[in-house]
A and B are shown apart, each in its own frame.
Chain A
């Protein structure tokens, strides 16, 4: 009897739909990375601002987020309490891994944050500006080694775009992929490579300490407090932003989608979120609804083209 009762309680616990404002956010990456910290910041702010009474974060790492995405699509379908964090890196990973699931299989809600990509050289380098670096690459693409994040990721894509904009064959670039920003930074500080490329936030402390020289950033306009030209200003028509987004489960009704969107909007507009963005150095790139969906489609198309150009996607 006891067992039966216990069983019934477990069954009931499993069957009871989560309360409307409870959320489970999947960070499709290991703890500590950008998606994980995005998810955990959302958790903190949503609870602190009273948007949701209970938010949980799960980590499903692997393959640029596509492992988590596949699991999310199959297990969360129709459940409005489940969210997944993603972003530009996932767009590239879906293409390079020929992932069976894509962002078309989830319900994109909003773009939340963005970070510019920065190009640096070691302080001891002879190269003084972005033109010098690009000219060296044009003269002998193989001789200019780039240290950055994973292959096909936003750093790699930016180098590909830059090469293309400068009239260099993007398949000839010497891009050396490192796992995680730390190892790439070490290679740059140790003068092992010609140049480095990664999120601006990762390099800024080094630049401020004078161990690296910041040559250019990939944002559309100059960034306040950062003493470097944009690639566009320097004459290369490249604008890249490593944006992060949040999506809901597939198969939601219009009302459910509207409810999730409203909660996320509340989050994005809250004072707690704005403060967290400032603390972490993320730009507020909140964009939702049809505008975001159109932007997403554009990004996917552009990324496909670049990855084909640099030979990572057939």
Chain B
């Protein structure tokens, strides 16, 4: 049977009524757990995987696909409405999305995220089905030096215009980079900045930092402004649906986000977070409405949301073609496959085609289900903003704390949450941007490790970094991204560059 035949067969199975029910249950569970701040897709899948054990393989896979995509999607809802990204890939979504929500455009923001996730998920799943074996060859060309170059590009594009004050942006970034140093050094096993606290040996958890800085810092900031400060949040203004202009501005961003997300997700050391950063930077540079960036530009939600969902599908490329789990989520999925005595790997496409195509068909169905479920729900989600602020923020604090403790039940983790929350509050108070701290924490260790690996492999020869054509091209792009804004700024057009710095609050 050819590729297409297998896919059709998979789809036929996936469309049986019971299967659709499983998909629905999976999507609902995934979205519900994904909405909790601090609980990312990996934990969602880990928590819910046992639910699928009792089912037959087809039902299990389909529910599993629902949980996976549902968990990826759930994070964006809270990012947009409450400014509390539940995981690293949604941090960027909060920037523009929450601004939109506050201006009464939460509906269109959620819609562009949902439809963008759907479009990206659909295209990326089809790419997975037809191109996986080719994409993976490309992804394997990426070694430590190429990854390092990619990180440099992400650093430069994300931080080139960190706000009105480049100094404040850089201070924030370096706070993040300093936090990134905490813990055991991956390459030598030595502890850094852990001060004898065993819980610090594993470093600072990205979700803890993101939840603390965004959710707690925000709650403290709102509380500090006193009871009369009700202004600033409009639940709904205009239509809940996307306008024609919203569509016109979103669709290109969705496609660009997909084009960035899928290949980066396929790379063994890529990831949805880097994909979302790069997509945001791209949208910021390509927009015709630069003045809106930092104030709620719809492209800034559409692109990154598409990118992180495409990356989620991309993650399955190395898993299915090589048996390589490249993210925590993928590692748990691998365990799920093994439950059925299957070893994903180079031979899986040949040895168990029904299963692979069943999974791909399930992903397509889950994707549709997610859209069907979420579009009507937007109307209700937006009502969250009508909850009186003291209650809303009280609820956020409870969920943020529960989520963090759920992932890592320890007093130290809770203390970190409080300390970083306070830091987030102080930074808001003095006008320092929050996002660069999280970006620094995510990209810092990756960049450092890849650089050191590259140098170790080349026995310390720094020229190795530019001797690979891919690395050289990426570094060249980074250089352009660094220099062009400087020139523009020098010519007095700096305002045209979107400013992440003002975007958080």
> How far, in whole Å, are A21 and B16 apart by their CA atoms in the complex?
42
> Closest residue of chain A to B201, judged by CB?
A63
> Closest residue of chain A to B202, judged by CB?
A62
A208 close to chain B: CB less than 8 A: yes
> How far, in whole Å, are A58 and B405 apart by their CA atoms in the complex?
12
Q: Which interface residue of A33, A62, A174, A190 has the most chain B CB atoms within 10 A?
A: A62
> How far, in whole Å, are A109 and B338 apart by their CA atoms in the complex?
27
Residues of chain B contacted by A33 (CB below 8 angstroms): 331
Tell whether, in the assembled complex, residue B459 and residue A174 are in contact, meaning their CB atoms are under 8 Å apart.
Answer: yes
Tell whether, in the assembled complex, residue B322 and residue A189 are in contact, meaning their CB atoms are under 8 Å apart.
Answer: yes
Tell whether, in the assembled complex, residue B198 and residue A209 are in contact, meaning their CB atoms are under 8 Å apart.
Answer: no
Given A32-B325, A33-B331, residue A182 in contact with residue B187 (CB < 8 A): no
Tell whether, in the assembled complex, residue A190 and residue B345 are in contact, meaning their CB atoms are under 8 Å apart.
Answer: no
> Closest residue of chain A to B140, judged by CB?
A190
B32 close to chain A: CB less than 8 A: no
Tell whether, in the assembled complex, residue A182 and residue B459 are in contact, meaning their CB atoms are under 8 Å apart.
Answer: no
Tell whether, in the assembled complex, residue A32 and residue B187 are in contact, meaning their CB atoms are under 8 Å apart.
Answer: no
Given A145-B457, A190-B141, A279-B338, residue A97 in contact with residue B191 (CB < 8 A): yes
Tell whether, in the assembled complex, residue A183 and residue B268 are in contact, meaning their CB atoms are under 8 Å apart.
Answer: yes
> How far, in whole Å, are A209 and B334 apart by their CA atoms in the complex?
18
Q: How far is the CB of A270 from chain B (nearest CB, A)?
A: 18
Given A62-B202, A63-B202, A177-B187, residue A186 in contact with residue B42 (CB < 8 A): no
Q: How far is the CB of A280 from chain B (nearest CB, A)?
A: 7
- From A31, A71, A98, A143, B410 is in contact (CB under 8 Å) with A71
Tell whether, in the assembled complex, residue A62 and residue B199 are in contact, meaning their CB atoms are under 8 Å apart.
Answer: yes
Q: How far is the CB of A271 from chain B (nearest CB, A)?
A: 16
A225 close to chain B: CB less than 8 A: no
> Closest residue of chain A to B411, judged by CB?
A71
Residues of chain A contacted by B201 (CB below 8 angstroms): 62-63, 66-67, 97
Given A182-B325, A186-B318, residue A32 in contact with residue B345 (CB < 8 A): no
Q: How far is the CB of A61 from chain B (nearest CB, A)?
A: 7
| Chain A interface residue bracket vs B | 35 or more
Tell whether, in the assembled complex, residue B343 and residue A97 are in contact, meaning their CB atoms are under 8 Å apart.
Answer: no
- From A66, A185, A208, A279, B322 is in contact (CB under 8 Å) with A185
Tell whether, in the assembled complex, residue A31 and residue B187 are in contact, meaning their CB atoms are under 8 Å apart.
Answer: no
- From A36, A151, A182, A206, B330 is in contact (CB under 8 Å) with A182
CB contact list, A11-51 vs B, under 8 A: 30-33, 36-37, 40
> How far, in whole Å, are A64 and B341 apart by their CA atoms in the complex?
28
Given A151-B187, A280-B338, residue A32 in contact with residue B328 (CB < 8 A): yes
Tell whether, in the assembled complex, residue B140 and residue A189 are in contact, meaning their CB atoms are under 8 Å apart.
Answer: yes
Interface string of A79-120 (1 = CB under 8 A from B): 000000000000000001111100000000000000000000
Tell whether, in the assembled complex, residue A205 and residue B269 are in contact, meaning their CB atoms are under 8 Å apart.
Answer: no
Tell whether, in the assembled complex, residue B410 and residue A206 are in contact, meaning their CB atoms are under 8 Å apart.
Answer: no
A154 close to chain B: CB less than 8 A: no
Residues of chain B contacted by A7 (CB below 8 angstroms): none
> How far, in whole Å, are A96 and B344 apart by their CA atoms in the complex?
34
Tell whether, in the assembled complex, residue B408 and residue A37 are in contact, meaning their CB atoms are under 8 Å apart.
Answer: no
A176 close to chain B: CB less than 8 A: yes
Tell whether, in the assembled complex, residue B326 and residue A183 are in contact, meaning their CB atoms are under 8 Å apart.
Answer: yes
Residues of chain B contacted by A279 (CB below 8 angstroms): 338, 341
A180 close to chain B: CB less than 8 A: yes
Tell whether, in the assembled complex, residue A190 and residue B324 are in contact, meaning their CB atoms are under 8 Å apart.
Answer: no
Residues of chain A contacted by B326 (CB below 8 angstroms): 180, 182-183, 186
Interface string of A51-83 (1 = CB under 8 A from B): 000000011111110110011000000000000
Given A61-B408, A176-B457, A186-B269, residue A32 in contact with residue B322 (CB < 8 A): no
Q: How far is the CB of A165 from chain B (nearest CB, A)?
A: 22
Given A31-B42, A205-B347, residue A176 in contact with residue B456 (CB < 8 A): yes
Tell whether, in the assembled complex, residue B184 and residue A192 are in contact, meaning their CB atoms are under 8 Å apart.
Answer: no
> How far, in whole Å, are A150 and B188 apart by their CA atoms in the complex?
8
Residues of chain A contacted by B373 (CB below 8 angstroms): none
Residues of chain B contacted by A179 (CB below 8 angstroms): 186, 449
B227 close to chain A: CB less than 8 A: no
A152 close to chain B: CB less than 8 A: yes
Tell whether, in the assembled complex, residue B188 and residue A58 are in contact, meaning their CB atoms are under 8 Å apart.
Answer: no
Q: How far is the CB of B158 from chain A (nearest CB, A)?
A: 23
Tell whether, in the assembled complex, residue A58 and residue B409 are in contact, meaning their CB atoms are under 8 Å apart.
Answer: yes
CB contact list, B343-359 vs A, under 8 A: 343-347
| Chain B interface residue bracket vs A | 35 or more
> How far, in whole Å, are A190 and B138 apart by their CA atoms in the complex?
9
Given A60-B408, A187-B144, A312-B189, residue A67 in contact with residue B198 (CB < 8 A): yes
B292 close to chain A: CB less than 8 A: no
Tell whether, in the assembled complex, residue A205 and residue B346 are in contact, meaning their CB atoms are under 8 Å apart.
Answer: yes
Residues of chain A contacted by B324 (CB below 8 angstroms): 181-182, 185-186
Q: How far is the CB of B249 from chain A (nearest CB, A)?
A: 37
> How far, in whole Å, are A32 and B183 apart by their CA atoms in the complex?
21
> Closest residue of chain B to A44, judged by CB?
B53
Residues of chain B contacted by A96 (CB below 8 angstroms): 189-190
Given A67-B198, A176-B457, A182-B324, residue A32 in contact with residue B46 (CB < 8 A): yes
Residues of chain A contacted by B346 (CB below 8 angstroms): 205-206, 208-209, 211
> How far, in whole Å, are A155 and B174 apart by their CA atoms in the complex?
34
Residues of chain B contacted by A145 (CB below 8 angstroms): 456-457
Residues of chain B contacted by A151 (CB below 8 angstroms): 185-189
Interface string of B76-109 (1 = CB under 8 A from A): 0000000000000000000000000000000000
Q: How far is the CB of B90 from chain A (nearest CB, A)?
A: 20
B6 close to chain A: CB less than 8 A: no
Tell whether, in the assembled complex, residue B459 and residue A143 are in contact, meaning their CB atoms are under 8 Å apart.
Answer: yes
A142 close to chain B: CB less than 8 A: yes
- From B144, B338, B459, A192 is in contact (CB under 8 Å) with B144
> How far, in whole Å, are A193 and B457 apart by their CA atoms in the complex?
7
Residues of chain B contacted by A61 (CB below 8 angstroms): 202, 408
> Closest residue of chain B to A62, judged by CB?
B202
Interface string of B195-232 (1 = CB under 8 A from A): 01011011000000000000000000000000000000
> Closest residue of chain A to B342, judged by CB?
A279
Q: How far is the CB of B129 from chain A (nearest CB, A)?
A: 20
> Closest residue of chain A to B145, judged by CB?
A192
Known: A60-B408, A174-B457, A180-B325. 16 other contacts (CB 8 A): A36-B335, A62-B198, A63-B184, A67-B199, A100-B198, A151-B187, A151-B188, A177-B187, A179-B449, A182-B268, A182-B326, A186-B140, A192-B457, A206-B323, A206-B345, A209-B345
Which 5 pairs show the lowest CB-CB distances between chains A and B? A205-B345, A209-B346, A32-B331, A62-B202, A186-B268
**7 A-B residue contacts at CB 8 Å?**
A61-B202, A67-B198, A67-B201, A151-B186, A176-B144, A183-B268, A192-B143
